Amino acid sequence: MKGLLELIPQDWLEEVINLAAECTVVVDRNGIILYLNHAYCKFLDVEAEEAIGKPVQDVIENSRMQIVAKSGKAEVASIHPINGSEMIANRYPLYVKGELVGAVGTVMFRNPREWLDYSRKLQPLMDELNYYKKKYEKEFLSKYDFGDLAGESEKFKEAKELAKRVSDSHSAVLLLGESGTGKELFAHAIHQLSSRRNFPFIRLNCASIPETLFESEVFGYEEGSFTGARKGGKMGKFEAANGGTIFLDEIGDLPLQLQSKLLRVLQEREIERVGGKGPVQIDVRVLSATHQNLEKMVAEGTFRQDLYYRLNVIKIEIPSLRQRADDIGPLSRILLKKMEGKLNRYGLRISEEVLGILQTYHWPGNIRELENVVERAVNVTDGSTIYPEHLPLYLWSGKSPVTFREVQYNELPVEGKILPLKEAVRNAEVQAIKNALKAAGGNKMKAAKLLGMGKSSFYDKCSQYSINSL
């Protein structure tokens, strides 16, 4: 190498240094300047002959080169105030044959304008990088852990503890439960606690993929395998999940003819791309979920028995919200905090009357429905407390959404079946209050309790609709 450098003239080497790093300084172990290139001399407005041989701190304002030369610790991208400006400096210890002999420093940007010019060029690349980083985190990483699974009811804790115990296993897990019970959150948490957590977590909704696209989406395809195939081909879901976990949501909705193709992947632990030349080995843990009764589907012949046994190595049944009524209060408060941030409404609380109503409702939509109810209440409340009148009418009138709509429609005269929404709500509230007063024998306190409303809220409604008595 020495011989090769000797072929380069000395003035060439100095020019190379000027081009490679605009401002460069070299000091010995005691911080004495041995070399200061032309660009740095021009920046400092000094002659090289004047600077060489002097302590670096006497020539370069606020220099730390003497410190790096003694400590042997690099300082990269440091802010360096000098000449009334702030530059970005790099300082590196200089080792020769394993011995610390000094330090070399370079200046990347001599003023904020240079940094801004550079950042303008760099920003589009950083934006693109952040876009793909967020996309990767959204699509390929788990977002929840067991700390996000709130609940103290016995059945829920049993399901949660079982999920924790099997998290680090490689066996398939089947998550059963009604829609909205949090099956996907359980899948996220299981992956997050497993040894596969640093590898992809891929979600696949079996109900949303058309049969014609199933193979290309799930197993991938090679370039030119069909009209419109992407150049270079495309990796399928299973291949993307290699080393990690794949979550097959709504597995009960997978058409029968596609179940055999999925079964082969689970048995052989290999996939073959559409148009591919051979199988590709994969290492993927399978978590699946459904709200359907797979055993009944097996008996009816709509779900393959052999696939069911492949998926049902470990079964975890997640209780519905009506089976864990004691958790409704804590869950409501957690969801309220979530909505405060989402809707920029802070300092809200849920009244006791509302909690009582929420705990007596049967929640066919489970946690997903509860979240919608809380979001709706946050949107319509003007104050800091959520009262029964801020809930959907079907909750505090004791009727389900479907039943309420049917009753309102059927009870109206033919010519009045279609009313403006505000008028229809007003009519319903007036009727509910009158019915409650009638049932309570005219006692407004009792009527308010029957409707699950606070006394003040009930009196306000009576005043609003000019309801004085029966």
- Residue range 95-117, pLDDT digits in tens: 998 899 999 998 876 555 665 66
pLDDT for 19 equals 64
- Residue range 339-367, pLDDT digits in tens: 988 888 889 999 988 988 898 888 989 99
pLDDT for 133 equals 58
The residue-averaged pLDDT of 433-449 equals: 83
Q: Are 110 and 43 in contact (CB under 8 A)?
A: yes
- Residue range 423-438, pLDDT digits in tens: 677 778 888 888 888 8
Distance of CA 51 to the CA centre of its chain: 56
pLDDT for 103 equals 95
Confidence of residue 399 (pLDDT cuts 50, 70, 90): very low
- Residue range 193-243, pLDDT digits in tens: 999 998 999 998 888 888 888 888 888 888 777 666 677 778 888 888 999
Q: SS3 for 406-446, per residue?
A: HHHHHHCCHHHCCCCHHHHHHHHHHHHHHHHHHHCCCCHHH
The residue-averaged pLDDT of 40-65 equals: 91
Provide the percentage of residues in the chain whose pLDDT is more than 70.
83
Three-class SS of residue 78?
A: strand
Cα(454)–Cα(310) distance, integer angstroms:
54
Q: Which residue segments constitute the domains of the chain, with CATH numbers given?
A: 2-109 (3.30.450.20), 146-319 (3.40.50.300), 322-391 (1.10.8.60), 400-470 (1.10.10)
Q: Are 411 and 375 in contact (CB under 8 A)?
A: no
Confidence of residue 135 (pLDDT cuts 50, 70, 90): low
- Residue range 31-42, pLDDT digits in tens: 999 999 888 888
pLDDT for 410 equals 41
What global pTM score does this model have? 0.58
Cα(165)–Cα(171) distance, integer angstroms:
12
Q: Are 315 and 176 in contact (CB under 8 A)?
A: yes
